[in-house]
């Protein structure tokens, strides 16, 4: 079987690049009977997955993402005589010469369209459904997202497969004082802080988190909030609220933190507080679990599929509830110990080997049709 994997996302920052890197790295060595053709847009990634005999790497040039996906990839796929094309993002070549599989990374835009731009929503109600309907198989990151996309876009349920993600194996507790001190100094992290990780946009519920922070500081003293991430869209209002709420000295925004450093940041934080309005399968709680950091998160969407019983759940619209759960997570030592123990157990429920094995099974099923 000849499997083409579209990897133009590797140069991006964010969850899809992490997913792409981890699922491919786990999949390649477990299927020596198949030949994999890896398609890159950036030549810097050549050699990143080793040099096994069953791997061919190609750098495909195109001026735009659309041209890369819809013209260059299918043209090369014909030349490579592929049996299936697997795109790790939410797209496929519409004129593919073979079976196709794509990833449904989330359904948030259909549940909360107000958190996306008009341009985004136009795309997700016109072109995106074309990809979903044309794809031979869809890999959904959660059962919740699977149900959402079937309900909102009436996709054939038989071709949508739930394949959960995992935290990268690099996430683990950091207890070396020197390493922790170096990361604290590098990002100017405060002594006591709660942590929020991810791209910043209205769906991440930063305003309610800030209101909860005020209540936490009123009871627990000088607890600061570190937001580790960058703005993606429609986030200027969130940044303005930090200034307007009088929290400029209480909120630190170091920007993007590399995965090499993020384990130490999780290990330094008193808790991760992640009251997003809706996530399909957030990796943040799993990463925090794996690093021994207590988690406060929303009970909405697919988050309970990821966090299991290893989190304190809140209603994202309930500011007093978010504050109360945060105070328990940072101040109740027996509860913290229990959350940390359950977190380690929860993180072990998932692995990239499991994700890769389930993904490979879907791809193999397409070739047998």
Instruction: Note the pLDDT tens digit of each residue in 96-121.
Output: 999 999 999 999 999 999 888 888 88
Rounded to whole angstroms, the Cα distance separating 322 from 338 reads: 19
Q: Is the pLDDT of residue 234 over 80?
A: no
Write down the architecture of domain 2-166+351-367 according to CATH.
Answer: 3-Layer(aba) Sandwich (3.40)
Q: How confident is the model at residue 61 (pLDDT cuts 50, 70, 90)?
A: very high
Q: Is the model's pTM score more than 0.85? A: yes
Residue 262 burial by CB count (10 A; 0-12/13-18/19+): exposed, middle or buried?
A: buried
Entry field: residues in the chain: 369
Specify the pLDDT at position 199.
78
Could you tell me if 32 and 360 are in contact, meaning their C-beta atoms sit under 8 angstroms apart?
no
Average pLDDT for residues 82-102, to the nearest whole number?
Answer: 96
Rounded to whole angstroms, the Cα distance separating 93 from 87 reads: 9
Specify the pLDDT at position 235.
61
For domain 177-347, which CATH number applies: 1.10.1370.30, 3.10.20.30, 3.40.50.2000, 3.90.1150.10? Answer: 3.40.50.2000
Do 2-166+351-367 and 177-347 fold alike per CATH?
yes
| Torsion sign, CA atoms 82, 9, 351, 143 | negative
Average pLDDT for residues 308-337, to the nearest whole number?
Answer: 98
């Amino acid at each position: 079987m000849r499997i083409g994997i579209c990897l133009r996302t590797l140069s991006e920052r964010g969850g899809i690049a992490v997913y792409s890197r981890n699922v491919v790295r786990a999949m390649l060595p477990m299927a020596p009977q198949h030949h994999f053709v890896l398609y890159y847009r950036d030549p810097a990634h050549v050699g990143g997955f080793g040099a096994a005999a069953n791997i061919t790497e190609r750098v495909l040039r195109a001026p735009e993402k659309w041209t890369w996906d819809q013209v260059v990839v299918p043209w090369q796929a014909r030349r490579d005589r592929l049996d299936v094309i697997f795109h790790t993002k939410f797209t496929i070549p519409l004129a593919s010469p073979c079976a196709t599989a794509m990833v449904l990374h989330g359904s948030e835009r259909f549940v909360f369209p107000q958190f996306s731009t008009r341009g985004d929503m136009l795309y997700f109600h016109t072109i995106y459904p074309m990809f979903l309907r044309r794809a031979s198989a869809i890999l959904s990151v959660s059962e919740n997202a699977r149900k959402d996309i079937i309900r909102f876009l009436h996709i054939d349920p038989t071709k949508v497969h739930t394949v959960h993600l995992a935290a990268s194996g690099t996430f683990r507790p950091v207890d070396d004082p020197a390493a922790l001190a170096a990361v604290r100094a590098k990002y100017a992290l405060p002594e006591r802080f709660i942590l929020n990780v991810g791209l910043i946009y209205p769906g991440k519920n930063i305003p309610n988190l800030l209101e909860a922070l005020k209540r936490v500081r009123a009871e627990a003293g000088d607890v600061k909030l570190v937001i580790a991430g960058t703005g993606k869209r429609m986030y200027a209002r969130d940044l303005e609220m930090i200034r307007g709420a009088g929290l400029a000295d209480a909120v630190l925004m170091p920007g993007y933190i590399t995965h090499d450093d993020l384990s130490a940041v999780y290990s330094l934080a008193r808790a991760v507080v992640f009251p997003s309005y809706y996530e399909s399968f957030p990796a943040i709680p799993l990463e925090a679990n794996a690093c021994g950091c207590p988690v406060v998160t929303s009970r909405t969407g697919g988050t309970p599929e990821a966090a299991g019983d290893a989190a304190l759940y809140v209603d994202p619209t309930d500011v007093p509830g978010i504050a109360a759960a945060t105070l328990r997570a940072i101040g109740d030592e027996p509860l913290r110990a229990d959350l940390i123990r359950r977190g380690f157990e929860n993180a072990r429920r998932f692995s990239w080997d499991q994700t890769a094995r389930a993904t490979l099974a879907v791809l193999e099923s397409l070739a047998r049709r």
